[in-house]
Chain A
C-alpha cells in the first residue's frame, strides 16, 4: 500500500510512513513535488501605462508548502519579537511585519539572490527572506555579537551583503534614492539584474522618491519601486496623507501595477512581470495592497487610529497564511495535521534561536570604535600609497 502511494505526492506517502520517518527525520520534509498547478489570484491586477499580467499564476506543491512554511516562520518570529520587546530584551524601535509576509515571500519566489532588495525599517522578514538566519535576527534585535550587524545596527539596520540585501534604513524614504543607485550600479556593470526598492505609503509622499524616479526613468535604470501600502503612515491613514492614494499611478510617466499584497502568488506574478519590464523598459512601480496587524512599532498600540473590527476583519478574510493554507488543503497537498506540525516545528525553531541568541555575548567595548572608518579610526596617517602607517595621533 505504501508503494502505490509513492506515485502520488510524496508528502502523502510521508504521512503514511510517518511512524517510521518521524523517528528518523527531525522535521517533516516539504513536498518536493514540482508538478505545476495553476492558481488564480484573488483579484485581477490594475495597471497604469502598461499591460497587466495574467491572473493565472503557475506554481507547484513544493512552492506552496515553502510559502506556507516561510510565512509561518516569519509570523512566529515577529510575534516572538513582540514578546521579547515586552520583556525589555529588545529596546528602542521595533517595527513588526506580521500581516505583510506575503510581500517578502512572493518577491523572493520571483527573483534570484543576485537581484538587490532594499527596504525601510520594517525589515526583519525581508532579511529572513533573503537568507538571514533566525539567530542573526534575534541577536541583532537584542544587540548581541551574533547579530547580522554585530549588534551595532539594531532592528532598523539589518543587512546581508552576500545575498544583496541592502537594508534596513531608519529615515523614511531615504532608501529609495539608494535603491536607484543600486539599479544604476547594476546597469553600469551590465548585470541583467534588477533592484527592488521598497517603501511605504507614508514614504510615498517624500520628494526624494520622485527625484529618484525621474532620474531612473531618464537613465533607464532597472529599478522597481514597490510601495507596501498598509494604509497607515504610523497613525495617519492614507486618505489623510495623500491627495492621490493611487500610489501605482503616482509615477505619472512611469508604468505602475496594483497588486493584492496579501496574496503571495499575485506578488510573485507581479514581481516576475516587473523584473522583465525593468530590464527592458526601465523603472516600474508596484503597489502592494497589504496590511499590518501590529501598530506602526511596538510603542504604538495600533488601535487608536483604526478599529479592532477592521484588524480582525482583515485577519479573517485576507490573511496571507490562511490563503495558502486553504490552497494547500483544497489541492490536497498536505493534511491539516501536517500543516499544524509545520507550525509547531517553526515555533520550536524560533524558540531555539531565541535561546541561542540570548547566550550570545554583548559586543566588546572596543567594538564601539570599529567600523567607523574602514581602516581603524582615522587616527593613522598613511604614506602616499596608503599602505604604510606613518604616524598615529597622540
Chain B
C-alpha cells in the first residue's frame, strides 16, 4: 500500500503550483506548468524533480501527451540517476519537521507546544530531535490538557510569540474548541485590530487504519465557520513543508490539517527555501472534461481513479484545493469555466462538511458555467466503525469516483 502511495504521490507532485521564490533562478525550476514549451523543441513536462534535459534524457521526451503523464510511472524514472537530481528526498513527516526546524532557526519567537512533542519526539515523529536542538523552552511537552495549552498558546501569541500548537490527533482539539473559536478566531476582531494571533494549530486527522470512531474525526467541518482563522490541508511532502512555513509566517491564526495515513509519503523536494501560498489551490492534473476538487488523502484516491478514467477516455482536471478556508475560488472558478462539470471528493461527512460549503460556494458564484449539478462524494454520516470492511465503505473509494465521473460526463 505504501508503494502505491509513493508512486501516486510522486505523480501527483506534478503540479503547476506557482512558486515565485525559485521561479527564474534555474532552468530546472522555471514555470512549473506542465505544458511549457522549451527551446522550440518538443513539448516537455517539467516535473517537480526538475528533469528538463531535453536531448540528453530520453525520458524527458516521453511526455508528449499531458494526459498520459497524469499517472506516469515516476517510480522507474526516479530509480535511475537519482543522484544527479537536485533536491532531496524525504517523507512527509520529515518535510513537516524540516519546515518547522527552518522556521524555528529563522525566528526565535517560534516555539512548539503539544503532548509528547519534546523528549518523545512527537507521536508521528514530526518534532523529533527539535527538543535537543532548541531546548525545553522552545519545544514544550504539555500535560494532557488541550483546552488550557491551546489557550496558553493563544495568550502567548497575543504578545507576539509564534507558537505551533500540536494536537496529537485533531479530534482532541474538540476540547479546545472554545479557545480556538472565541479567542483564537475572534480576538483580532473584538479588540479592534489591537492583537494579532499568529498561531499555528496543527495535527493529524482523518480516517486512519481502524483507529475507531473517536480517533478518526474530520475537524475541518467543525472549524470551518469560525471567523478569523485560515485552514489549510497538506497532502504531499512538498506542500506540507511549504504550508507549514507559510502558516508560521502568517499573521493570521492558521489550522494545518495533516492526515494520519499520509505521513510516510516520499517525494523529492527542492533544497532551497520555498513556501506555498496559504490561500491557493494546487493544480494536480490539468484536464478538459470534468473538474475534480479534493484535498488531503482523497487526492490519492482521486488520482488512482484518474488512472482508470484516463484508460476509459476521460480527461479529468484534478485540483487539490489545499486552502479549506478561504476557498481559492479563483483557481476553482477558472477550472469550472473550462470544464463545466464539478465533482467534489472529500473525506468529511456528508452533512456540513467542506464539500457542502464548497458546493454552495460554487453554485453561488459559477452557476451559469455549470452544465450539470455539482456532485459531491463524501464520507457517510456515521461514526467510523472499527471493522476494516465497514471502515472502507465509510470513506470514498476510487471505484465510486470513477462511477461518479461517468455519471457526470455521460
With contacts A171-B182, A384-B276 taken as known, whether A185 is within 8 angstroms of B149 at the C-beta atoms is no
Q: How far is the CA of A208 from the CA of B111 in the complex (A)?
A: 22
**Which residues in A have their C-beta under 8 angstroms from that of B367?**
none
Contacting residues of chain A (357-385) with chain B, CB-CB under 8 angstroms = 370-375, 377-385
Question: Distance (Å) between the CB of A174 and the closest chain B CB?
Answer: 6
The answer, yes or no, to whether B58 is at the interface (CB within 8 Å) is no
Contacts of A393 in B (CB 8 A): 326-330, 333
Given contacts A150-B192, A159-B191, A384-B274, is CB(A118)–CB(B178) below 8 Å?
A: no
Nearest opposing residue in chain B for A370, CB measure: B193
Per-residue interface assignment for chain B, residues 118 to 147, with 1 indicating a CB less than 8 Å from any chain A CB and 0 otherwise: 000000000000000000010010110101
Q: Mark A154-178, 1 if CB is under 8 A from B, else 0.
A: 1001011100001111110010111
Q: Is the CB of B142 within 8 A of A374?
A: no
Return 17 A-B CB contacts under 8 Å, by A number: A152-B189, A153-B191, A167-B187, A168-B190, A177-B148, A177-B151, A178-B151, A178-B152, A212-B145, A215-B143, A370-B193, A374-B252, A384-B19, A384-B242, A386-B275, A386-B277, A390-B277
Query: If A157-B190, A177-B149 touch, does A381 touch B330 (CB 8 Å cutoff)?
Result: yes
For A9-41 the 0/1 string (1 means CB < 8 A from B) is 000000000000000000000000000000000
| Residue tally, chain A, CB below 8 Å to B | 64
Give the complex CA separation of A207 and B145 in angstroms.
9
In the bound complex, do residue B188 and residue A149 qualify as a contact, i.e. CB atoms below 8 Å apart?
no
A3 contacts chain B at the CB level, 8 A cutoff: no
Bound-state Cα–Cα, A164 to B178, Å: 23
Specify which of B21, B137, B178 is in contact with A174 (CB 8 Å cutoff).
B178
- Given A149-B194, A372-B188; A184-B20 close (CB under 8 Å): no
Q: Does B227 contact A (CB under 8 A)?
A: yes
User: Which residues does B use to contact A, with CB under 8 Å?
Assistant: 18-21, 109, 111, 137, 140, 142-143, 145, 147-161, 178-179, 182-183, 187-196, 227-228, 230, 242, 246, 249-252, 274-280, 325-330, 333, 365
Report yes or no: B155 in contact with A179, Cβ–Cβ below 8 A: yes
Given A149-B191, A171-B182, A178-B151, answer yes or no on A372-B21 (Cβ-Cβ < 8 Å): no
Which of chain B's residues have a CB closer than 8 A to the CB of A388?
A: 20
A residues adjacent to B (C-beta < 8 A): 116, 118, 147-154, 157, 159-161, 166-171, 174, 176-182, 184-189, 207-208, 211-212, 214-215, 218-219, 370-375, 377-386, 388, 390-394
Shortest beta-carbon contacts, A-B, top 9: A181-B155, A177-B151, A211-B148, A181-B152, A211-B145, A178-B155, A150-B192, A149-B192, A374-B251
A161-B195, A371-B189 known; A181-B111 Cβ under 8 A: no
A residues less than 8 Å from B151 (CB atoms): 174, 176-178, 180-181, 208, 212
Contacts of B161 in A (CB 8 A): 184-185, 188-189
Q: Which residue of B lies closest to A363 (CB)?
A: B192
A176–B158 alpha-carbon span in the complex (Å): 14
The listed residue (A151, A180, A378, A379) touching B155 by CB distance below 8 A is A180
Residue of B nearest to A212 (CB): B148
Give the chain B neighbours of A180 by CB distance below 8 A. 148, 151-152, 155
For A157, A182, A184, A214, which residue has the most chain B Cβ atoms within 10 angstroms? A184
A174-B151, A178-B152 are known; give 5 further A-B pairs, CB within 8 A.
Answer: A149-B190, A177-B148, A177-B151, A182-B155, A382-B278
| A174 and B182 contacting across the interface, CB-CB below 8 Å | yes
**Inter-chain contacts of A390 with B (CB < 8 A):** 18, 277, 280
Contact of A386 among B137, B142, B159, B250 (CB under 8 A): B250
Specify which of A151, A154, A159, A215 is in contact with B195 (CB 8 Å cutoff): A159
Q: Which residue of the partner chain A has the closest CB to B361?
A: A393
Contact present for B147 and A207 (CB under 8 Å): yes
Known contacts A181-B151, A215-B145, A393-B329, A381 near B191 by CB under 8 Å: no
- Give bound CA distance, A370 to B252, whole Å: 13
Structural contact, A215 and B142, CB atoms closer than 8 A? yes
Instruction: Check B189 against A177 for contact (C-beta < 8 Å).
Output: no
Q: How far does the alpha carbon of A184 sit from the alpha carbon of B149 in the complex, in Å?
A: 11
Q: Are A182 and B330 in contact (CB under 8 A)?
A: no
A373 touches B230 (CB 8 A): yes
Q: A208 touching B147 by the CB < 8 A rule?
A: yes
| Contact across chains for A380 and B279 when beta carbons are under 8 A apart | yes
Measured CB to CB, the closest approach of chain B to A247, in angstroms, equals 18
Give the CA-CA distance A149 to B277 in the complex, in Å.
30
Please report the C-alpha to C-alpha distance between residue A381 and residue B250 in the assembled complex, in whole angstroms.
13
> Hey, which chain B residues are within 8 Å of A176, CB to CB?
148, 151
Q: Is B190 within 8 A of A177, CB to CB?
A: no
Q: How far is the CB of B186 from chain A (nearest CB, A)?
A: 9
Complex interface: chain A residues within 8 A of B333 (CB): 393-394
